[in-house]
Structure 1
Amino acid sequence: MARPPKCRCIGGYPDFWSFSPDDESTEAPVMLSLDEFETIRSIDWLGQNQEECAQEMQIARTTVTSIYESSRKKLADALVNGRRIIISGGSYRLRETEESIHMKKKGSGVMRIAVTYENGEVFQHFGHTQQFKLYDVNNGTIEKEEVVDTNGQGHGALAGFLKQAEVDTLICGGIGGGAQMALSEAGITLYAGCSGEADEAVKALIAGTLAQVGEATCDHHHGEEHHCGHHGEGHEHHHHHEGGHCGHHHEGGHCGHHHHHEE
């Protein structure tokens, strides 16, 4: 029985998650895992050699070679045959940052809610938010509130920040498709299209009274207070953050699926 692949450390989530040819393709999409994407980013974009990439990903150089060759083959297939590329899944964990190291861990049974935040209100553009307000909720009661700086912008970076902050649910205003894919990958339930006071939106979420308002793209109207479009699965809140473990969020934060690159 083959042993599961070792966790691969990646620098963060991408900002763009799918690429399509101009002409419609009937071919099945090419699925590129996040650890495969990381080798392309590190070697072809940043100019690292395979040894440097291996050190960053904390795996053997031979493993990097195998992952890199697989990812290049997939990209060639997509380019030559006009197939859509979708980035998703993999056996990985996010590289720790200074912010994540010092972020306080949430307690057992706590749901952590994040709200895009500015001057007490729900900030309306996820990718440009400079602050999140975090709420720790236990048995329907808010136990702790904290405003944190994002220290960076971009959909991928912000989704990674929220995952490392052990956030279960995000409340925000406008949000693009790429950001929604990043949050889905991170296992974070999304309530988008919200406006008004952040505290009131969280209270409405806890009470189960947030109403759906349709698609919540960044050019939507913000006329109704405390109404949100829900893009999660029902109203259940699952805790996927196992601190330091890796893998796709559907695997509960542990590594070992999809790939057969042996280290």
Structure 2
Amino acid sequence: MARTKSSRTLNFKPQYKKFVPEGVKPEGKVTLLHEEIEAIYLMDLLGLYQEEAAQKMGISRPTFTRILKNARYKLSLGIVGGYKIEIEDDKEELVVAICMENEENFEKITPMEQYIFIYKMAPGNISLLEKLENPVYSDKKKLAIVLPKIFAEYNVNLFVSSQIGEGLKNSLISKGIKPMNVKKMTSLETLL
């Protein structure tokens, strides 16, 4: 009799879910499970050790190793075989970070504002998770170094701002955080 699958903590939200080889018709398709792309994200993108990554996912290290091995096999098969690669996305919620002067004023949303607001957004529901002092504002720290690190600690997967420079954009993407540049925002509901 098979054991029941333990639940996994999945924080990474894939920005892109389909990859197709250019110039040829794919012969087949491989599908990465959400837990497999999470393992790739934690190990290969964030550079965590297997023990740390397993703890973040709430699973044992041997289970993490099996998930990672399957993910890498599927990616290799897709790339070498010219298959279409699809990623399952089981995460319906977003964890969004916005830098602002206060929670009600969306006129200025730049990385240099006084506070960082972190929200959890699910279909039909928005809740404030955290309000933090922005070290870029208070300590004049380098935003491309400080903000992605803070966002990763809080499992942010979307950063919304009216100004995102190339350095910050690349730093966010390297941490698996999607940067969203918006010219004007009136409320959080407009993001949903």
TM-score by length of 2: 0.49
Greater helix share, structure number:
2
